Structure 1
Amino acid sequence: MVNGAFFIQVGIIIIFFLNPETLNSTSQYLYTDSLSQSVQEATIGFRLIGVGIANFGGGIIFGLYLLSLTAFMVHDKQRINFTFTLWWLLVALISFLIARSSLVAIFLSLLYILLKGRREFIKFISQLILVIFIFLLLVMSTTDVSALLDSDIIRWGFEFLFSYFEAGEATTASTEHLLTMYILPDNHLTYIFGDGRFFDPVKGEYYMNTDVGYLRLIFYVGIIGMITFIQFVWTITTGICLPKSFLSKIPYYFFIFLIISNLKGFVDATQFFGIFLAFVYMKRVGAIAWQK
């Protein structure tokens, strides 16, 4: 069911990418608040966008799905085949072109496969190289490569490479902007208890104009609240670990991904975890019923 939902989402993303007019005509219905809509509209043309999937948050959702897909694939070694590898690459590419921060999930996915077994990793990488080779051949034979490399979406996705070869420094505009958002509180009470604000109601933007996840939590509920939030996420993480299933280890990778991602923006993926909580609950209830 989850795979089907993401399959549909991938189809919508591709349609929006190939036909921007469809995206423009539906953008007003995809978001309920003006801030999200304005951010989404500003990224049309150089980021992939889906239904409720855009920017940093969309990258998080696809990154978590990529990790789930990896665990599901590796759990049954027979699934490490051409079809699964092709789907993995497509999801990884889309997540990257939604938000470059999803690179963390891609690296964690590869690490997960590597730690699961050297043989599985070599098999997967071999198939991945083959899929990438075929994909590049198709692109080169059907597309103007020079125009593609000069397109907004490619230049944005690989901005750090273009920056390195053109300016001698591997950096991105968003990274430089992110560094300006590391704004610390100016009093002890805010550090401890926060200011109780997540958004600035007057300016209609993030409070203190920072997008950094940990800083937003500190300004909102202080360090105490931030630690409580992290503990809450950790509790859910351990709660969805199910021995002898594809959920035996991958939740810890979820947690690492979320912890790192909060250095960039605020991430609350408890809704995503709810799917696995339901799965674990049904498995455990089924096991209890079987024992009775």
Structure 2
Amino acid sequence: MVLSTNSQVLLDNSRNEVKPRVWIIAYVLLAFLVSCYFFPFELTFLPKGLNTKIMLAAVGILFLSEHVVRAGAITLDEGLVPAILFAVVFSIFGFLSMEINNSDDASYASYFISFGTWLCASYAVYRWLKIAHQEVTFRIMTNYLVVISVVQCFLALLIDSNVNIKLFVDQYIAQDTVANVEFLTKVKRLYGIGAALDVAGTRFSIVLICLIGVILNLRRTYFSNGTMILYWSAFMVIAIVGNMISRTTTVGVMMAFCYLLCYSNLLRAEVSDSTIRLWRIILMVTAFLVSIAIFLYQVNDDFREQLRFGFEGFFNFVEKGTWTTSSTERLNSVMWIWPEVHDIKTWIIGKAEFDDWHAVGTDIGYCRFIFYNGLLGLVTFSMFFLHNAWTSVRKFPEHQITIFLLLITGFVIWFKVATDIFLIYALLYMIDRQERSEGENRL
């Protein structure tokens, strides 16, 4: 059968239209998989404890097995072996604390399992990204993290404002990786899917700092106005709504903005055209999105309540003249709890108490680590993150300030809550040097 010329043209056009649609679907699926890694959650109809991070780790093991069979060897990042040793030693101190104190709290005695799970899950994410993009760069990784963070912010607003959506999400999604739904509903906190409380705030902070790193790296080369508008719009959405979800996001907002202010060359005597163009976009987008937030504050009671919670310090400063929040007052008054001065054993090896918050009486990270496996554990865990940061700086020298701020973010958040940001370093371990250097300026 012979097609007419017009028919052939129509057929070719239809084929060209299908490919972009397929890739759009593929990118959406990839973003969902990255979200399953970065904001893991459980499904209510699956066994309790089986979250998406564990599922991805299982896939990562399959990918790794396939790689070993094909290559005949395992090639590790040069900094990964010391990281493994730090994780094992930290776990050993936790185990010793359990044995010495006759405790059954294995929170950090099993840290090497969590460490391995993050690594395997990150490898699965890396392999899927590589299949789609042929190369996985710092910017590509950040793009996906930014997209899923923005989606989580809008999803949290939808869940809070629409009862039907909330019921649907609560029916199938268990938020046990961060907190149970009953508690989140009781305290009227916004939540997405696996994104709530300090877990969400910590990860939003990571994303904001990485995003500014990408923006500043782009500023050195040519950037389109459209790209920068999208980036800064995402920054503002995460900064505003992210604080409404978790005020820990403030840590990332402050560090990211200071990073931008200091390294965009705005304060120099001679300001480049690219810097002027960048800040023009920043000011215009900020004014537009803040205006929307002010409008919603005036017309929507729920949004007003959540915004006042997220920026409680700012509202207290304007209305009362003091920058305070209920969280900071509680932290400063009753939360700094340490072992007794003469309790040398607890200071050295801890009491193996972590799961039971009331047994310790504090949520401050430094105190919790001391009570679990003492100074031995705290120092080892700190050295573990110092090593991860140092290895990442050597691997990505153009993002050394970004990585330094990620390290500082972890240590600062420990003043508020015990948290683990290894998930971002696990992704950085997966990215190859050659891929990073060749593809950094691509979308």
Common fold, TM-score beyond 0.5?
Answer: yes
Q: How does 1:153-232 map to 2 (within 5 A)?
A: 153-179=306-332, 180-186=334-340, 187-200=343-356, 205=357, 207-232=359-384
Determine the structure 1 residue equivalent to 2:238: 91
Q: Which moved more, 1:48-57 or 1:236-245?
A: 236-245
Call closer, same or farther: CA 1:24–1:111 in 2, change over 3 Å: same
SS in 1 for 2:248: helix
SS in 2 for 1:199: coil
Determine the structure 1 residue equivalent to 2:430: 278
What letter matches 1:175 in structure 2?
Answer: T
TM-score (structure 2 length as normaliser): 0.56
SS in 2 for 1:241: helix
Determine the structure 1 residue equivalent to 2:157: 14
Whole-angstrom CA distance in 2 between matches of 1:72 and 1:176: 35
Which has more radius of gyration? 2
What letter matches 1:185 in structure 2?
Answer: P
Whole-angstrom CA distance in 1 between matches of 2:160 and 2:391: 38
Determine the structure 1 residue equivalent to 2:176: 32
SS in 2 for 1:258: helix
Determine the structure 2 residue equivalent to 1:131: 285
Question: Deviation at 1:43?
Answer: 3.5
2:209 to 67, 86, 93: 67
Determine the structure 1 residue equivalent to 2:191: 49
What letter matches 1:241 in structure 2?
Answer: V
TM-score (structure 1 length as normaliser): 0.82
1:58 aligns with 2:200: yes
Question: Deviation at 1:41?
Answer: 2.6
What percent of counterpart residues are identical? 21
Q: Is the 8 A contact 2:242 2:249 kept in 1?
A: yes
Call closer, same or farther: CA 1:11–1:33 in 2, change over 3 Å: closer
Q: Is the 8 A contact 2:153 2:242 kept in 1?
A: no
Deviations 1:246-274 (A, max 9, x none): 53331111001111110000110112221
Q: Which moved more, 1:273-282 or 1:32-41?
A: 32-41
Call closer, same or farther: CA 1:160–1:24 in 2, change over 3 Å: farther
SS in 2 for 1:64: helix
Determine the structure 1 residue equivalent to 2:255: 108
What letter matches 1:64 in structure 2?
Answer: I
Superposed CA RMSD: 3.1
SS in 1 for 2:335: coil
What is the aligned residue count?
280
Q: Which moved more, 1:269-278 or 1:228-237?
A: 269-278
Structure 1 unmatched ranges of 5 or more: 287-292
Determine the structure 2 residue equivalent to 1:290: none
Whole-angstrom CA distance in 2 between matches of 1:3 and 1:162: 28
Call closer, same or farther: CA 1:210–1:244 in 2, change over 3 Å: closer
Call closer, same or farther: CA 1:55–1:129 in 2, change over 3 Å: same
SS in 2 for 1:225: helix
What letter matches 2:229 in structure 1?
Answer: F
Q: Is the 8 A contact 2:150 2:237 kept in 1?
A: no
SS in 2 for 1:256: helix
Question: Deviation at 1:11?
Answer: 3.9
Larger RCO (alpha carbons 8 Å, 6+ apart): 2
Q: Is the 8 A contact 2:350 2:371 kept in 1?
A: yes
Whole-angstrom CA distance in 1 between matches of 2:212 and 2:181: 32
What letter matches 2:422 in structure 1?
Answer: T
Deviations 1:75-114 (A, max 9, x none): 1121672222112211222222222222221121122223
Call closer, same or farther: CA 1:49–1:282 in 2, change over 3 Å: farther
Whole-angstrom CA distance in 1 between matches of 2:178 and 2:158: 24
Deviations 1:196-253 (A, max 9, x none): 11122xxxx3541210000000000101110100100111111222556653331111
Determine the structure 2 residue equivalent to 1:233: 385
